[in-house]
């Protein structure tokens, strides 16, 4: 799994490469055929040195970053560093070395370097032009070119160490350089680039400044100035608060003015007001302003400035991050990252987290990169730390959203990279023409961008898409848009079973803790089955990888129900759904859990069957079939224009009609199939009202309006009812980082509901709310939607029992009850925790209810008998 550091590095390289391709320069390192083999740390040096013409690579078009420079090539670099383009005008000619002929390509460079004491030959009179230059030798060449070591410092036994120390002090090398080994070509370029930026001349700079020094203390009594009381200790403290001892100023008058202002501010409103001369005199009597002069040796010139006129500009990259741009003759030859971020978050962060970085409150300049494109905003620190985007930027900061905090001068800049997750809609290659190069267009979400593979005019054909990994049509990817470029990143997949999910959103997948990414849309559930998941580079879950579906995995859901069994002494509830497949066959489908109460019954859905034989359902994907979701109130035999909305508009004699007649909420019904529009009977409001009619056409290639529906499902007059899993509040809670975790019992199992506020908490545990039964609690609304238990009975002072399959409240008949109906009992003792348990109706003994006790029951849809009983026994005094 990739790390955050790797992802951020990837984003930088993507942004950098895109930016470079838009530069029009005579020499461009991007043209090297092996540029991808160059280490990231050497890219800036190679681009600048190539752009200046100092480095040109080999005639074959490659640079050879892992090879080594020869001594002749090193002489060429030194000559170019000192002379610039005029180095190529050095004449060829004979040299003092026996192995360098007059027509040698580097004879002019070698002669120049030797004449200026930069390079020396070997004692045998040879130069060794084809010998590989060592790190130490090249170090000495660079130092002498900068004006160092001309007095023999780099001779004798300690020459290498002296050179290494000077090179480190000038920033040419770092401490991790192995000085005893040969340098690779990319390392030589880095060292030469550092030397190019090093200062070659220094001068003495004098600076004059003034310091305020405290003198005798002010008197607090019997002193007057112009008839007024002299300043008290209080005024003295005002002055001291503004002018601390030894505070420095750039001029004497600035020092005097600062204290005078403190005095006049303290006496504001006094009559007469103190005058400037008087205040100045008072100040000078008790403070001294001393003049100081310092001398400092400061560097003023570099080869980059004096030889090439190289300029450094500051320009944000495509993602809005601080970057650097090197300009040569007014044209950019390199654009790369500036300073590293002072902090990087890959999830939401707190006020404390942000204050540790910036140590202030106020505004912070922010750039938001999301699927909709770059949106520069001024975001307050509050909005960043709480995860709220600026006004017109979408979404909150969450898991998998990268926020980089940069120090820019005295201020800070936040760069937010917020990806979206979607399937690549299209990848279309376009051949080159006479006016435009060949390119591939990538479309994902509502965005698209081009990647060119050839150019007619590179300056006008920049890539507007940048890819990470192999991207193909139909792949799921992360994407976001910078100022000009659409970034598309391939995602990874992992496998494992989800063993736990906490109320705080922590998911244990394959033994590792993770969460759902901000870009994801996955609702995690515990399952012993191992599944595949799409994850981002931080390991946060984006979605479950859909398993390969059968050719036509579509059914009409008729009803759902459950059955309770006593297994190993425990009541086990099993869930089922009756569905109709495309052939009109009714199937009893086992489920892992009850279906949603809405949006399922009477719907045509895709299904999947896991390894244990359990069915799951999902909305039909248009890549597999087209679902007409409009309600059709009339079906007329022989009328081929049955469907008037959606992409499928016709039926015919090849269309199968499956009619499921489950009026009301009846537990049973009939399913009839008719082959062809001339065989199906007419349906209409005068005969049999239709609750919903769905048409499905399964075809490949994609559907068009002219296609005929393969199947029409008719589900007649359905009003499904759901069985609520009632919630019982135990009245206890724990406070953790996610909020108040309130203890409840749902379906006989202890669970928690997290409240963010005390108001939400007290809605379930207040004095009148604890140890109480609720039909449902919807925490997605504000305030919560809490539905009291209803539809059953409340008994006090009565005997409740199951006799012969009938529930009695005292002597009153209540409802038929099956032996396997689940009974939940909550016992609230006078001291100690509430206990709870489950059994079935067959074991229900007579229960005598007190004044504070209650019983609730739930019936099946359509009055199909009692399916659950909740008995609350409150035996507190």
Residue-wise pLDDT tens digits, 362-402:
556 777 777 766 554 545 555 555 444 333 333 335 788 88
pTM > 0.75: no
Whether 115 and 79 have beta carbons less than 8 Å apart is answered as no
Q: What is the pLDDT of residues 765-797, one digit of tens each?
A: 877 777 788 877 878 777 888 877 766 777 777
Identify which has the larger pLDDT, 20 or 284. 284
DSSP 493-509: EEEE-EEEE-TTS-EEE
- Find all residues with CB under 8 Å of 59, minimum gap 6, and list them: none
E strand or H helix at 236, and its extent?
A: helix 233-242
Q: What is the pLDDT of residues 435-469, one digit of tens each?
A: 999 999 999 988 999 999 999 988 889 999 999 99
Which letter does DSSP use for residue 195 in this model? H
Rounded-to-integer distance, Cα 99 and Cα 128, Å: 7
Closest CA to 617 of 599, 636, 637, 632: 599
Highest mean predicted confidence (pLDDT) among 393-397, 488-492, 829-833: 488-492
State residue 535's pLDDT score.
94
Rounded-to-integer distance, Cα 153 and Cα 258, Å: 52
Structure tokens at 409: 């001068």
Rounded-to-integer distance, Cα 259 and Cα 288, Å: 11
Identify which has the larger pLDDT, 568 or 845. 845
Q: How confident is the model at residue 409 (pLDDT cuts 50, 70, 90)?
A: low
Rounded-to-integer distance, Cα 871 and Cα 877, Å: 18
Cα–chain center distance at 277 = 63
pLDDT value at 491 more than 90: yes
Angstrom CA distances, 108 to 53, 57, 102, 131, stand at 17, 19, 9, 18
Average pLDDT over residues 60-69: 92
């Amino acid at each position: 799994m990739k790390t955050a550091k790797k992802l951020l590095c990837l984003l930088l390289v993507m942004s950098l490469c895109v930016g470079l391709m838009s530069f029009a320069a005579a020499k461009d390192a991007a043209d090297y055929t092996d540029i991808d083999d160059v280490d990231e740390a050497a890219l800036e040096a190679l681009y600048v040195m190539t752009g200046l013409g100092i480095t040109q690579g080999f005639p074959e078009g490659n640079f050879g970053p892992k090879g080594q420079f020869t001594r002749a090539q090193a002489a060429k670099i030194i000559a170019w560093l000192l002379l610039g383009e005029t180095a190529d005008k050095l004449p060829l000619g004979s040299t003092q070395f026996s192995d360098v002929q007059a027509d040698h390509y580097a004879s002019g460079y070698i002669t120049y370097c030797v004449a200026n004491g930069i390079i020396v030959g070997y004692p045998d009179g040879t130069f060794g032009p084809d010998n590989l230059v060592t790190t130490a030798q090249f170090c000495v060449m660079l130092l002498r070119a900068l004006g160092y070591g001309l007095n023999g410092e780099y001779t004798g036994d300690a020459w290498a160490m002296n050179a290494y120390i000077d090179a480190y002090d000038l920033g040419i090398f770092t401490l991790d350089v192995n000085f005893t080994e040969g340098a690779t070509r990319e390392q030589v370029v880095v060292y030469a680039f550092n030397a190019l930026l090093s200062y070659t001349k220094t001068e003495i700079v004098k600076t004059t400044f003034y310091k305020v020094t405290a003198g005798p203390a002010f008197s607090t009594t019997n002193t007057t100035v112009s008839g007024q009381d002299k300043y008290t200790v209080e005024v003295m403290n005002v002055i001291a608060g503004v002018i601390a001892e030894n505070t420095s100023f750039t001029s004497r008058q600035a020092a005097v003015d600062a204290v005078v202002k403190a005095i006049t501010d303290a006496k504001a409103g006094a009559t007469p007001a103190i005058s400037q001369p008087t205040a100045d005199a008072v100040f000078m009597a008790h403070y001294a302003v001393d003049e100081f002069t310092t001398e400092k040796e400061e560097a003023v010139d570099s080869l980059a400035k004096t030889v090439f006129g190289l300029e450094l500009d500051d320009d944000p990259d495509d993602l809005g991050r601080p970057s650097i741009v090197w300009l040569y003759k007014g044209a950019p030859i390199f654009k790369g990252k500036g300073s590293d971020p002072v902090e990087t978050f890959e999830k939401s962060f707190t006020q404390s987290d942000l204050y540790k970085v910036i140590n202030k409150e106020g505004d912070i300049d922010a750039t938001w990169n999301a699927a909709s494109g770059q949106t520069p905003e001024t975001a307050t620190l509050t909005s960043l730390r709480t995860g709220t985007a600026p006004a017109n930027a979408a979404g909150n900061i969450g898991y998998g959203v990268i926020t980089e905090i940069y120090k820019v001068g005295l201020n800070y800049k936040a760069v937010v990279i917020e990806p979206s997750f979607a399937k690549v809609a299209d990848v279309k290659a376009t051949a080159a023409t006479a006016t435009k190069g060949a390119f591939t267009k990538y479309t994902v979400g509502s965005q698209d961008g081009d990647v060119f593979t050839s150019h007619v005019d590179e300056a006008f054909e920049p890539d507007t898409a940048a890819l990470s990994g192999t991207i193909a049509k139909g792949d799921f990817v992360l994407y976001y848009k910078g100022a000009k470029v659409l970034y598309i990143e391939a995602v990874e997949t992992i496998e494992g079973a989800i063993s736990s999910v906490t109320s705080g959103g922590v998911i244990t997948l394959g033994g590792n803790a993770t969460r759902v990414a901000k870009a994801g849309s996955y609702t995690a559930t515990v399952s012993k089955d191992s599944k595949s998941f799409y994850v981002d580079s931080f390991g946060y879950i984006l979605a479950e990888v859909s398993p390969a579906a059968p050719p036509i995995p579509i059914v009409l859901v008729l009803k759902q129900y459950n059955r309770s069994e006593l297994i190993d002494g425990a009541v086990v509830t099993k869930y089922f759904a009756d569905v109709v497949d495309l052939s009109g066959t009714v199937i009893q489908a086992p489920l892992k859990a009850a279906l949603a109460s809405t949006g399922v019954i009477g719907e045509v859905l895709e299904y999947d069957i896991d390894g244990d034989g359990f069915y799951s359902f999902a909305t039909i994907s248009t890549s597999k079939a087209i679902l007409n979701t409009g309600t059709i109130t009339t079906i007329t035999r022989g009328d081929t224009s049955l469907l008037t909305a959606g992409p499928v508009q016709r039926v015919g004699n090849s269309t199968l009609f499956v009619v499921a007649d489950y009026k009301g909420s009846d537990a049973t019904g009939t399913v009839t199939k008719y082959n062809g529009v001339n065989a199906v009977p007419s349906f209409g409001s005068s005969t049999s009202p239709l609750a919903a009619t769905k048409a499905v056409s399964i075809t490949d290639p994609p559907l068009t309006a002219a296609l005929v529906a393969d199947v029409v499902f008719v589900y007649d007059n359905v009003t499904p009812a759901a069985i609520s899993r009632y919630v019982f509040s135990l009245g206890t809670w724990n406070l953790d980082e996610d909020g108040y975790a309130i203890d409840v019992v749902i379906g006989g199992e202890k669970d928690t509901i997290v409240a963010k506020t005390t108001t939400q908490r007290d809605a379930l545990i207040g004095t009148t709310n604890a140890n109480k039964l609720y039909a449902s609690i919807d925490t997605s609304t504000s305030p919560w939607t809490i539905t009291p238990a209803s539809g059953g009975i409340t008994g006090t002072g009565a005997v409740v029992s199951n006799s012969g399959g009938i529930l009695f409240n005292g002597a009153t008949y209540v409802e038929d009850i099956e032996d396997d109906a689940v009974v939940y009992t909550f016992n609230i003792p006078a001291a100690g925790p509430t206990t709870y348990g489950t059994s079935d109706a067959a074991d229900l003994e007579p229960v005598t209810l007190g004044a504070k006790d209650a019983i609730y029951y739930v019936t099946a849809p359509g009055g199909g008998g009692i399916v659950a009983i909740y008995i609350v026994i409150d035996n507190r005094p």
